[in-house]
């Protein structure tokens, strides 16, 4: 028997990652790398668990974590080394791993290390760090974007499969746009932020970077869920929408709202809008200027007090490695009056209500992710004004309680161009579905809960009542057939509908399974007209789902169309008895 060990999947993937780290020679990406031997040992554990039958959806995939997120046994510097050693900061290795990281590792991801960032997650450029400015993955004279700079570049370079960032003002979206990768920023509160050094704790979100949308959706789904250590957590509502309708309405900004873009960037955005329409969506121009105005409150108003609350006391000790731009921004929150903070929160609440008015009738909003792609030299010469411009279309999103997905949308001026699909709070899946259509990908659901419902008649795609399902956010699962225990009868209703009757002997009936949230199903049932009913229905594979039925009286009076095999086929051939 050979003594040579055969490398298994996770182990080989980790070896490849460390080879890419060496080949890339980008030390500024990392603040702390896990020793290769330790990462390989973790990979072998993953491989052993898979061999033993464990279901690990991320088995062997590599993970890079922004260094303001805790990993047990590692320092958390937030881009400021003295913060991890000073009594005024958070000295010493983290005692526990943040839930967001722990959930990915439990699913089989292997941690490679902690990544560089704009200090204290304050910046959109990736240059505000004593560990060095993080250069763009393929255009080294340009910024990588921040503050989640290292995680985004690790993914863009093909080193990490998943990069974790945080996003308060766009830190999980701007680097994605510059890197030509996907950035998913959920509704605030869905992913636990315990174990994260706050930037503005009310608005912080742990985000993902991936090279494809499907993996980002999977990683995000695994991270979502309340945690007892995070009092700000929010669960999915009972009536959460699980799918985007086939022909959604997408709001886009007026030409006046795009003036911060250069002509070439405006042309790139126009092409992205055309791509949205090519998916079957319609677009409507809206005035987004109230949203852009609300963004000013993050830095120019009293909300900056939250940044001071997070790390201001430490910066007051004048640590020698503090970035002066970051220190000045955070210091501005020191003397904010409580009444001013309350007033600005009230202003934000009014802006959120105005946003809902602006988006009335639209499912989603499409925006450019950012305004330009500056060089590192330009940012160093003007560190505040350029950074401010980069956040034009991102700063307001978390404050107005919107979800966002940043996706690649071509190239402009020699580099990647990106757009962001925005959705109302908890409509994350709708933004993901449109993003998937733009990228021509197939993605799963970010929401694990749901009830499968069988439809066999007027709620099928293309039939008159199908919009009722779409309005409730139902998500298509599969085309199916029932078991052979059913008859299908045409009922005397308007519009014409069939009834599914279980008789014990019949034929398989064609239908569709749609997944709905529990709240949506309740609304659906409450509005169900006589003689229809919902109950359990058996599928051809022996599984049972919620399905349409009808009263015994209506079934007995209906026209039997079982031999057609389904409602659409019955309609195509004609039904003898017309609806009354």
Query: Could you read off the pLDDT of 333-388 as tens digits, one per residue?
Result: 999 999 999 999 999 999 999 999 999 999 999 999 999 999 999 999 999 999 99
Evaluate whether residue 559 is within a structural domain.
Answer: yes
- Closest by Cα among 316, 299, 329, 387 to 83: 316
Question: Which pTM value belongs to this model?
Answer: 0.96
Whether the upstream peptide bond of residue 495 has omega within 30° of 0, thus cis, is yes
* 141 is a domain residue: yes
**Is the dihedral angle over the CA atoms 191, 194, 200, 206 positive or is it negative?**
negative
What is the pLDDT at residue 27? 98
Query: 30 with 127, same domain?
Result: yes
Q: Decide if 388 contacts 364 (C-beta within 8 A).
A: no
CATH number for the domain spanning 223: value is 3.90.1300.10
Residue 499, strand partner residues = 489
Same domain? 289 vs 414:
yes
Catalytic residue numbers read: 66, 147, 171
Asked which of 386, 415, 439 is the last residue of a domain, the reply is 439
Same domain, 332 and 186: yes
- Residue 474 and residue 430 share a domain: no
User: Closest Cα to residue 99, out of 202, 192, 231?
Assistant: 192
265 and 342 co-located in one domain = yes
Residues 488 and 515 in one domain: yes
What residue numbers bound the domain in which 488 lies? 451-573
DSSP letters, 273-286, are: HHHHHHTT-EEEEE
Q: Which tokens in the block code for residue 270? A: 């126009």
Read off the tokens for 349: 């609440």
User: What's the number of CA atoms in the CB half-sphere (13 Å) around residue 432?
Assistant: 29
Residues 428 and 492 in one domain: no
pLDDT digits (tens, 9 = 90+) for 525-561: 999 999 999 999 999 999 999 998 899 899 999 999 9
- Residue 300 covered by a domain: yes
Indicate if 65 and 136 belong to the same structural domain.
yes
Q: Which residues of the chain have pLDDT under 50?
A: 1-6, 577-580
Q: Is there a single domain that holds both residue 383 and residue 460?
A: no
> 62 with 16: CB under 8 angstroms?
no
**What is the tens place of the pLDDT at every residue in 455-488?**
999 999 999 999 999 999 999 999 999 999 999 9
For tokens 């500024």, the residue is 28
User: Which of the 8 DSSP states describes residue 371?
Assistant: S
Are 137 and 157 in contact by the 8 Å Cβ rule? The answer is yes
Q: Roughly what angle, to the nearest 10 degrees, separates helices 263-278 and 428-439?
A: 100
Q: Is 460 left (phi over 0), alpha (psi -120 to 50) or beta?
A: beta
Instruction: Report the distance separating Cα 49 and Cα 11, nearest Å.
Output: 13
In a domain, 1, yes or no: no
Q: How many domains does the chain have?
A: 2
277 plus 300 within the same structural domain? yes
Residue 14 lies in a domain: no
- Which are the contacts of 174, defined by CB distance < 8 A and separation ≥ 6? 124, 145, 146, 369, 370, 390, 391, 394, 406
Spell out the residues 6+ positions from residue 59 whose beta carbon is closer than 8 angstroms to its own.
9, 10, 46, 47, 49, 50, 107, 108
Bridge-partner residues for 511, per DSSP? 480
Same domain, 270 and 335: yes
In the numeric block, which tokens belong to residue 242?
Answer: 């699980």
The reply to whether 508 and 537 lie within a common domain is yes
Q: In the listed set 410, 439, 468, which residue is the last one of a domain according to the structure?
A: 439
Domain assignment of residue 247, yes or no = yes
């Amino acid at each position: 028997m050979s003594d040579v060990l055969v490398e298994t999947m996770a182990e080989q993937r980790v070896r490849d990652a460390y080879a890419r780290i060496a080949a890339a020679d980008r030390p500024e990406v990392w603040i702390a790398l896990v020793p290769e031997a330790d990462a390989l040992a973790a990979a072998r554990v993953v491989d052993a668990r898979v061999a033993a039958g464990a279901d690990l959806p991320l088995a062997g995939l590599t993970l890079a974590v922004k260094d303001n997120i805790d990993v047990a046994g590692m320092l958390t510097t937030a881009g400021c080394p003295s913060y991890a050693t000073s009594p005024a900061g958070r000295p010493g290795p983290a005692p526990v791993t943040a839930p967001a990281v722990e959930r990915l590792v439990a699913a089989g991801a292997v941690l490679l290390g902690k990544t560089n960032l704009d200090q204290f997650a304050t910046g959109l450029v990736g240059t505000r760090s004593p560990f060095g400015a993080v250069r763009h993955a393929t255009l080294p004279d340009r910024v990588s974007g921040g503050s989640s700079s290292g995680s985004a570049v690790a993914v863009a370079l093909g080193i990490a499969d998943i990069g974790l960032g945080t996003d308060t003002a766009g830190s999980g979206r701007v680097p994605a746009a510059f890197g030509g990768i996907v950035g998913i920023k959920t509704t605030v509160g869905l992913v636990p932020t315990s174990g994260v050094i706050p930037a503005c704790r009310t608005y912080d979100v742990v985000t993902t970077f991936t090279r494809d949308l499907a993996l980002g959706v999977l990683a995000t789904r695994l991270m979502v869920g309340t945690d007892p250590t995070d009092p700000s957590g929010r669960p999915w509502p009972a009536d959460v929408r699980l799918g985007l309708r086939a022909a959604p309405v997408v709001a886009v900004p007026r030409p006046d709202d795009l003036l911060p873009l250069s002509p070439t960037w405006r042309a790139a955005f126009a092409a992205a809008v055309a791509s949205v329409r090519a998916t079957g969506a319609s677009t409507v121009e809206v005035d987004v200027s109230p949203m852009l105005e609300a963004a000013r409150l993050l830095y120019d108003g009293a909300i900056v007090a939250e940044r001071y609350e997070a790390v201001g006391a430490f910066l007051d000790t004048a640590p020698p490695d503090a970035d002066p731009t970051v220190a000045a921004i955070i210091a501005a929150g020191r003397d904010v009056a409580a009444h001013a903070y309350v007033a600005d929160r009230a202003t934000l609440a009014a802006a959120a209500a105005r946003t809902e008015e602006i988006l009335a009738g639209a499912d989603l909003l499409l925006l450019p992710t950012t305004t330009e792609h500056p060089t590192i030299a330009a940012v160093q010469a003007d560190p505040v004004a350029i950074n401010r411009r980069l956040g034009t279309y991102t700063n307001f999103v978390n404050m107005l309680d919107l979800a966002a997905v940043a996706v690649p949308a071509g190239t402009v001026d020699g580099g990647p161009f990106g757009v962001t699909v925005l959705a109302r709070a908890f409509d994350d899946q709708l933004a993901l579905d449109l993003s998937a259509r733009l990228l021509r990908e197939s993605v799963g659901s970010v929401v694990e809960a749901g009830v499968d419902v069988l439809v066999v008649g007027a709620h099928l795609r293309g039939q008159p009542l199908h919009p009722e399902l779409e309005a409730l956010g139902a998500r298509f699962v599969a085309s199916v057939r029932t078991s052979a225990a059913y008859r299908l009868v045409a009922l005397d209703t308007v519009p014409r509908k069939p009834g599914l009757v279980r008789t014990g002997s019949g034929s398989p009936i064609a239908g569709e399974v749609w997944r709905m949230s529990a709240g949506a199903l309740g609304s659906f049932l409450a509005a169900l007209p006589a003689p229809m009913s919902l109950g359990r229905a058996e599928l051809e594979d022996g599984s049972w789902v919620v399905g349409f039925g009808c009263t015994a009286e209506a079934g007995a009076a209906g026209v039997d169309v079982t031999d057609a095999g389904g409602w659409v086929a019955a309609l195509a051939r004609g039904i003898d008895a017309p609806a009354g």
